[in-house]
Chains A and B, each alone.
Chain A
Amino acid sequence: MWSANQRRRSLGERLFRIAETVERIESRPAELTHGAKALLAYIGSLLRQVDSTVDDRWNELAVIEPGLREELRRELCDDFRDVVGVLVSEVVPVLVGADARRVPVELEPALRQSVLSAAPDWKPVPVLYGSDYYEYSIVPLRKSELEVPVTGRPVPSSAAEGGDMESPPDFVFISVPGVERDSVALHAVLLGHEAGHLRDWYLRLSEGFVLDVPPQLVDSDGKPGEGYGEYVKIATNWTEECVADILSCLTIGPVALLALPEVAGGAGELAVDSDSHPGTDRRIELMLRVLHQQGFDVVSGLTEAFSGYKTLCGDAWKRIVQGPDLNQQIASLVLAWIRTQLDELIRVCTSNVPASDLFTSDYWPLVESAASMLGGGLPCGEIILAGRSRAAARPEVILNASWLVKVQGLQALGQQLGVVLTEDSHISDVSRVSEVLDRLTLKSFEIAEFLRSA
């Protein structure tokens, strides 16, 4: 049997590795993201507390009779193993990825503002990090989940249990794919969709939708039958995703829709549902409804794109459930329920977003002006308003302008670089112009933030 001493040795090894990683990260503070610095300070103090508490408790148990001592020391190590487990699996990867070489730090101030707007009383620290996987996600962390245990107390729960919000989170870990550091237009999803999840948790919007459990999932005694749990899981996930999509459109505008198909997968995979998300085609159709309500379907530059999506996805909620890893029967029941709720979801979300956080078509002239600058090879962080006054561009204006340039074609920007783009151009020429657009977009964020903080 694994003795207390062996457990202590194993615990010590892991603590040493974590401390070593933390030290390595601390040694290059200039390159850490803003959120990572706050997390690092907290983890550093936690490690010191763990070290001293393990030693103190271990020594206190020295006076107890050997049999009981061995048992209590094993328990002591096991309790701390859980804390170390959360650190190793969920916190250290965030710290390692929260490096200015892996994430677009230019986006961080805008992200902080989005988080603050989404959950004004919680004020969690957003930690932006580059993930090794192709994923965008938001995971809350409460310090209580990493509390240093005292024997007899319950062990900490996993930080991954995101939506369960008994107390406000102290941090939110927000991931971007590390391999796409500069694809800021794709990362727009962070400001809209991921911040939308946070707003949903804060306002408890999706929680407010009472699931209408179909009779076939309830037994003759009125108790949950086979498939009930799976139904609740899929319905909850789909509701949360729909709410985040709606909030995304309300707060960042058309870019929420335009970025989605590229973030969610290739065009061939639009009509695939999963346990966690309704198909991208359904999400697009829902977003079109919200953007129509916001007046974006008639703004110049987007009508063709919107009508294309309408043709492609207009009947998405009418199609049957399809997806390789999905219980078709249960998901079909969820689909039947949720498609009757969509208008109400839009209404509830709209009425819960303050006017100051709404991005409406009134901003479109600014977006067009900013897009004209990007297409002309200029950043758009400082835009010229009526009367020739200048102002820092809102993040939403920059992102929508960047996508407007993409939607309208990269030819104008290509000309600035001496690259003539045609339908037959080499993909490398298209890549080069796209890269310049991404960098101009990032530069726009940097300039706008500089002006705001000046």
Chain B
Amino acid sequence: MTTGLPSRKDVIKMLADPQFGFSIQPMPTEDLIQYGSIDLRVGTVFLSAERSSLASVRAEDPWQGAKLFREVRVARGQPFVMQPHQFVLATTFEYIAMPPTLVGLIQSRSTYGRMGIIAATAAYVGPGYKGCPTLELVNLGEVAIELKPYQAICQLVLFTAAEDVIVPSRYQCSTRPSFARRPLSGSGADPN
């Protein structure tokens, strides 16, 4: 159950209180915090699709797709060039730990959206989640765009929530982008 959008002052207060259980590493500077949201930077590792002997990915067997992706690590100051219509997986640079009383949604920052870079889909960050959320990035524009590690390309929009039972995500504590992972057990929500 979500109950509202915290104010900027509330976000700063929640981050400063170690007992609250909400942490972001590195701690965002105040200029990155807005009303109900925090700007996040892109990390250094990208998973980029490449041609391979695997003909296609069946939707009911999504982890097969990992074979189609190659990991690219980009050094600080160096660009990762996103070609028009290219799809890549990345993560936020920030490592996020959500308390049981917050949920988040990751969305593109408008400046990058206007260039055609969209941080899309499955951007739900559930209560109790820990890790660097995966970003599914698409360049919808007609020109190639250079992304550099640590650019603040997206934001985490926060909603207060009440959740008693925390079930670890199968992507819990991840620090790099990963393709679909087999569920640990059973099924359920598919948070980041």
Q: Are A377 and B75 in contact (CB under 8 A)?
A: no
Mark each residue of chain B from 7 to 30: 1 if its CB lies under 8 Å from any CB of chain A, else 0: 000000000101000010111000
> At the interface, yes or no: B97 with Cβ under 8 Å from chain A?
yes
Report which residue of A100, A105, A436, A442 has the largest number of chain B beta carbons within 10 angstroms of its beta carbon: A100
A20-73: which residues lie under 8 A (CB-CB) from chain B?
A: 29-34
Chain A residues with a Cβ under 8 A of chain B = 29-34, 100-101, 105, 377-379, 381-382, 384, 388, 390, 413, 416-418, 436, 439-440, 442-443, 446-447, 450-451
The minimal Cβ–Cβ distance linking A125 to chain B, given in whole angstroms, is 15
- In the bound assembly, the distance between CA atoms of A22 and B173 in angstroms comes to 38
| CB-based nearest B residue for A381 | B25
> At the interface, yes or no: B124 with Cβ under 8 Å from chain A?
no
Q: Are B71 and A378 in contact (CB under 8 A)?
A: no
Q: Are A418 and B172 in contact (CB under 8 A)?
A: yes
Q: Are A416 and B130 in contact (CB under 8 A)?
A: yes
The minimal Cβ–Cβ distance linking B183 to chain A, given in whole angstroms, is 11
Given contacts A31-B72, A100-B73, A417-B168, contact A382 B27 (CB under 8 A): yes
Given contacts A377-B97, A418-B167, A440-B175, contact A105 B75 (CB under 8 A): yes
Given contacts A377-B97, A378-B130, A416-B130, contact A105 B73 (CB under 8 A): yes
- In the bound assembly, the distance between CA atoms of A447 and B72 in angstroms comes to 19
> At the interface, yes or no: B4 with Cβ under 8 Å from chain A?
no
Q: Are B71 and A101 in contact (CB under 8 A)?
A: yes
Q: Are B25 and A30 in contact (CB under 8 A)?
A: no
Chain B residue numbers with a CB within 8 Å of A443 are 95, 132, 175
- In the bound assembly, the distance between CA atoms of A276 and B26 in angstroms comes to 43
Chain B residue numbers with a CB within 8 Å of A388 are 16, 18
> At the interface, yes or no: B74 with Cβ under 8 Å from chain A?
yes
Given contacts A32-B75, A378-B95, A450-B150, contact A418 B184 (CB under 8 A): yes
CB < 8 Å: which of A31, A100, A440 contacts B173? Answer: A440
Given contacts A382-B26, A416-B130, contact A30 B72 (CB under 8 A): yes
- In the bound assembly, the distance between CA atoms of A418 and B171 in angstroms comes to 11
The minimal Cβ–Cβ distance linking B166 to chain A, given in whole angstroms, is 10
> At the interface, yes or no: B79 with Cβ under 8 Å from chain A?
yes
| CB-based nearest B residue for A37 | B75
Main secondary structure of the interface of A (DSSP, over half): helix
| CB-based nearest B residue for A108 | B75
| CB-based nearest B residue for A380 | B25
| CB-based nearest A residue for B71 | A101
Q: Are A377 and B173 in contact (CB under 8 A)?
A: yes
> At the interface, yes or no: B179 with Cβ under 8 Å from chain A?
no
Given contacts A378-B97, A416-B168, contact A30 B80 (CB under 8 A): yes
Chain A residue numbers with a CB within 8 Å of B26 are 381-382, 447, 450-451
- Selected A-B contacts with CB under 8 Å, 15 pairs: A32-B75, A100-B74, A100-B75, A378-B23, A378-B97, A379-B25, A379-B175, A382-B25, A382-B26, A416-B172, A416-B173, A417-B172, A439-B175, A443-B95, A450-B93
Q: Are A442 and B172 in contact (CB under 8 A)?
A: no
Report which residue of B75, B172, B176 has the largest number of chain A beta carbons within 10 angstroms of its beta carbon: B75
The minimal Cβ–Cβ distance linking B95 to chain A, given in whole angstroms, is 5
> At the interface, yes or no: B107 with Cβ under 8 Å from chain A?
no
> At the interface, yes or no: B155 with Cβ under 8 Å from chain A?
no
Chain A residue numbers with a CB within 8 Å of B151 are none
- In the bound assembly, the distance between CA atoms of A450 and B132 in angstroms comes to 16
Q: List 8 tightest A-B contacts by C-beta distance, closest first.
A: A100-B73, A30-B78, A418-B168, A443-B175, A30-B74, A439-B175, A377-B130, A377-B173
Q: Told that A33-B75, A378-B23, A382-B25 touch, could you supply 13 new A-B pairs with CB distance under 8 A?
A: A30-B72, A105-B73, A379-B95, A416-B172, A416-B173, A418-B167, A418-B168, A439-B173, A439-B174, A439-B175, A442-B175, A443-B175, A446-B44
| CB-based nearest B residue for A446 | B44
The minimal Cβ–Cβ distance linking A355 to chain B, given in whole angstroms, is 29
Chain A residue numbers with a CB within 8 Å of B97 are 377-378
Chain B residue numbers with a CB within 8 Å of A32 are 75
Chain B residue numbers with a CB within 8 Å of A440 are 173, 175
B69-126: which residues lie under 8 A (CB-CB) from chain A?
A: 71-75, 78-80, 93, 95, 97
- In the bound assembly, the distance between CA atoms of A101 and B75 in angstroms comes to 11
Mark each residue of chain B from 25 to 67: 1 if its CB lies under 8 Å from any CB of chain A, else 0: 1110000000000000000100000000000000000000000
Mark each residue of chain B from 126 to 170: 1 if its CB lies under 8 Å from any CB of chain A, else 0: 000010100000000000000000100000000000000001100
Given contacts A377-B172, A446-B44, A447-B95, contact A31 B75 (CB under 8 A): yes
The minimal Cβ–Cβ distance linking A214 to chain B, given in whole angstroms, is 53
Chain A residue numbers with a CB within 8 Å of B132 are 443
Q: Are A384 and B167 in contact (CB under 8 A)?
A: no
Chain B residue numbers with a CB within 8 Å of A417 are 168, 172-173
Q: Are A31 and B74 in contact (CB under 8 A)?
A: yes
Q: Are B130 and A34 in contact (CB under 8 A)?
A: no
| CB-based nearest B residue for A30 | B78
The minimal Cβ–Cβ distance linking A278 to chain B, given in whole angstroms, is 38
Given contacts A382-B26, A443-B175, contact A30 B168 (CB under 8 A): no
| CB-based nearest A residue for B167 | A418
- In the bound assembly, the distance between CA atoms of A443 and B174 in angstroms comes to 10
Chain A residue numbers with a CB within 8 Å of B74 are 30-31, 100
- In the bound assembly, the distance between CA atoms of A405 and B80 in angstroms comes to 35
Chain B residue numbers with a CB within 8 Å of A418 are 167-168, 172, 184
Chain B residue numbers with a CB within 8 Å of A381 are 25-26
